[in-house]
Structure 1
Amino acid sequence: MAEEISLMEIDDEEGTSGSLKTDKGKNVAVSAAPPDSKAIPWVEKYRPQSLDDVAAHRDIVETIDRLASGNRLPHLLLYGPPGTGKTSTVLAMARKLYGNQLQNMVLELNASDDRGIDVVRQQIQDFASTQSISFGAKPAVKLVLLDEADAMTKDAQFALRRVIEKYTRSTRFALICNNVNKIIPALQSRCTRFRFAPLDSVHVTGRLKHVISSEGLDVHENGLKALVRLSNGDMRKALNILQSTHMASQQITEEAVYLCTGNPMPKDIEQIAHWLLNESFLTSHKRISEIKSRKGLALVDILREVTMFVFRIKMPAEVRIQLINEMADIEYRLSLACNDKLQLGSLISAFTRARASLVAAAK
């Protein structure tokens, strides 16, 4: 059978419920029906099955749909934070394009595992060079999906550039990553780029309500708000928290959600902020240490929530900026495994200086 050649136009310069089975170097198979096993994580069980199921980023989804339907699909570079629908969008598009031939027409690799130049030279090139399946009179192109492409080595990315150039008439490449700055300019220029921003609360809430209804869960209104707040626009994180909280508690309340995730509750943050702004150094240090120990809170989580609290309270801009910068330095030192007690002292000292500045400004 002769190799099929695509008539698709390429290279615009600038710019989910299925079971996924991946084997290194093998094609991807996605089942047509959602799995109903209780062992399946909800992030997979409720992955959008079609492009219509992808609720957020409708402008991007509709653009990709038009390009694919019109035989003008370019190489794609989808980037943005985790859990925003990048992989789901590509899989839904592939499902629509290939139907029951999906297993033969799509190669999916996770570049964080398969990140070296040998993968590009062997697995990807072998797949791209094989013959395509004909869909009658319709030209067919294959699809290579590289998830977490920003984990690929520079040598592998340069090798991939040459493979894209060589097989661009018969194969399309979809690169998915979180940090687009780690993708070399030579690859970026060969792809149409789409940025997936964090999901807004409306879309996260709507999808969570769908899952809650399907699973018959008992979720309180404050519990739902806590799920949305802690997800920070990450749908995968929201579903994981929902499922883990359900496994730990029959009633999903705000307290159950925060207890399951280990995050400090808003009322605890308000109390800590009150101590930081009003109590002496020794009193603040003692009370914050006690609540950390009693509730098993991590200082880095307290620091991040207090930072958000600072954005919400009224204070002079210069005092706010100085305080936020100091807290960012503390968070950086915590990431280097610096002593928690010392960094708690630094946090209290930063608020002591901010409080003195506020008093001086009031005079």
Structure 2
Amino acid sequence: MDWVIGWWWSGRWYRMEGCTWLWISWMKTTLDDLHYHQSLSIRLKSLAASADFPHMLFYGPSGAGKKTRINCTLRQLFGSGVEKLKIDQRVFISPSKRKLEINVVQSNFHIEITPSEAGNYDRVVIQDLLKEIAQTQQVDLNAKHRFKVIVINEADSLSRDAQAALRRTMEKYMSNITSKLIAPIKSGCLLMRVAASNTEEMQIVLEHVAKKLKFDLPEEASQQIAEDSGGNMRKASLVFQALKMQSPDLSGSLTIAKPDWEIYCHKVADLIVQEQSPARVLETVAERVVERVDEAMKADVMHWAAFYIYHLEAWVVKVMAPSHGQLS
């Protein structure tokens, strides 16, 4: 079977042939290699060298570098062994005897899970996994630290029951925001805020990538990519990759394609700004309903939509009553 590697972006398929992903090429593995938030890197290095390593909570906007800093901190703690990863599928049994299959990424020194994938049964995953880890010993007897780290992704998506279970036996986890986490968990962790990078910091990273891959990146192009990405380094890497595929030398006028959801959001915002009235909402919804009902109903739908001082809720009821069973 032949495999094609690529990605879908803004209604277009980008195919990869004979090249590597940019973010794989410049992905950092040590705290010393990180280009921004140097004070945070220094603090993490100091903690990694300490004999008393605390529970930690990483939070900040998407694409700011939380995952990268966690991986670099693990490398600082345990060495290159943390990069030897394998993916296992663990089975957990809920109180109702339902089997829950969760993917777990692990090395000899840490384990990484996303228990929110289990939905309402995330408490079962948390309890069983922590109990299992607590009963096992460190595999490498020569490791710098005798403890094993648990990285819990999307901690802010955990249910209250799962957070309560986690509170008693925490190791380490990651989150976008702290407002959804219960106070006992936050108070038991050292909070590490990973802020979004600014335009200048993003340009430095992009130029470093270009230099490493041995091609010129015009300053105008790097600035355009950085400004469009809004502090999200993950988005910047995707945009950089897409532009590189379109224009290898990244010269001239560059058009950054927008993802479909962002285009539609802009259209909705434009409509809101153009006319702030219930009539605009009613007109748009009515046009869509007309497309989905029988010919015999279309005249009535538009008649009631055009009725003088008519409320949206009342019009919806009028349409739903006779069209019950006809809408598809």
TM (normalized to structure 2)?
0.63
Deviations 1:16-55 (A, max 9, x none): xxxxxxxxxxxxxxxxxxxxx9565333332211010122
Map of 1:1-363 to 2, 5 A cutoff? 40-102=20-82, 103-114=107-118, 116-133=122-139, 135-136=141-142, 139-164=145-170, 173-253=171-251, 255-258=253-256, 260-261=257-258, 298=263, 300-301=265-266, 339=284
CA distance in 2, matches of 1:339, 1:46: 46
* Aligned-partner residue type, residue 124 of structure 1: L
1:107 counterpart SS class: strand
- Deviations 1:234-266 (CA, angstroms, capped at 9, x unpaired): 1111111101221233242574342x3369xxx
* CA distance in 1: counterparts of 2:248 and 2:197, whole angstroms: 27
One-letter amino acid of the counterpart of residue 112, structure 2: E
Q: CA deviation at 1:199?
A: 0.3
Give yes or no for contact 1:77–1:191 (8 Å, CA) kept in 2.
yes
CA offset at residue 88 of structure 1?
1.0
Amino acid at match of 1:145: V
Alpha-carbon distance in structure 2 between the residues aligned to 1:302 and 1:181 = 31
Structure number having the greater strand percentage: 2
Amino acid at match of 1:234: N
Q: Would you say the 8 A contact 1:227–1:257 is kept in 2? A: no
* Moved segments of 4+, more than 6 Å: none
For residues 110 and 54 of structure 1, do their structure 2 counterparts lie closer, same or farther at Cα, with a shift above 3 Å needed? Answer: farther
1:299 to partner: Cα distance: 5.9
**1:182 partner SS:** coil
Amino acid at match of 1:238: A
Measure, in 2, the Cα distance between the counterparts of 1:340 and 1:250: 44
- Identity of matched residues, %: 25
Structure 1 residues 212 and 134: CA distance shift in structure 2, 3 A: closer
Partner SS, residue 194 of structure 1? strand
3-state SS of 1:224 partner = helix
Cα pair distance change 1:158/1:250, threshold 3 Å: same
Alignment CA distance shift 1:100-1:58 (3 Å): closer
Question: 2: CA distance between counterparts of 1:66 and 1:38?
Answer: 41
Shift of 1:70: 1.5
For 1:147 and 1:137, locate their aligned partners in 2 and report how far apart those are by CA, in whole Å: 25
Cα distance, 1:341–1:61 mapped onto 2, change above 3 Å: farther
Aligned partners of 1:248, 1:125: CA distance in 2, in Å?
51
Structure 1 counterpart SS, 2:61: coil
Any idea what the Cα deviations from partners look like across 1:310-343, whole Å, max 9, x if unmatched? xxxxxxxxxxxxxxxx86x98xxx9x9x94999x
Alpha-carbon spacing, 1:40–1:175, altered in 2? closer, same or farther (3 Å): farther
Contact 2:243–2:250 (Cα < 8 Å) also in 1: yes
TM-aligned CA distance change 1:196 to 1:138, over 3 Å: closer
1:100/1:161 CA distance change after superposition, 3 Å: same
Instruction: Evaluate the alpha carbon distance shift between residue 135 and residue 341 of structure 1 in structure 2; reply closer, same or farther with a 3 A threshold.
Output: farther
Relative to structure 1, the CA distance from residue 123 to residue 262 in structure 2 (aligned partners, 3 Å threshold; closer, same or farther) is closer
Provide the rounded CA distance (Å) in 2 between the counterparts of 1:301 and 1:217: 34
**8 Å Cα contact 1:223/1:257 also seen in 2:** no
Paired residue secondary structure (1:83): coil
Cα distance in 1 for residues equivalent to 2:27 and 2:115: 21
CA distance in 1, matches of 2:143, 2:112: 26
Q: How many residues are matched?
A: 239
Deviation at 1:56, TM superposition (A): 1.5
TM-score, normalised by the number of residues in structure 1: 0.58
Aligned residue for 2:111, secondary structure, equals: strand
Which protein has the bigger helix share? 1
Give me the whole-angstrom Cα distance separating, in 2, the residues matched to 1:214 and 1:261: 27
Q: Structure 2 vs 1, CA of residues 74 and 303 (structure 1 numbering), >3 Å: closer, same or farther? A: same
Call closer, same or farther: CA 1:153–1:98 in 2, change over 3 Å.
same
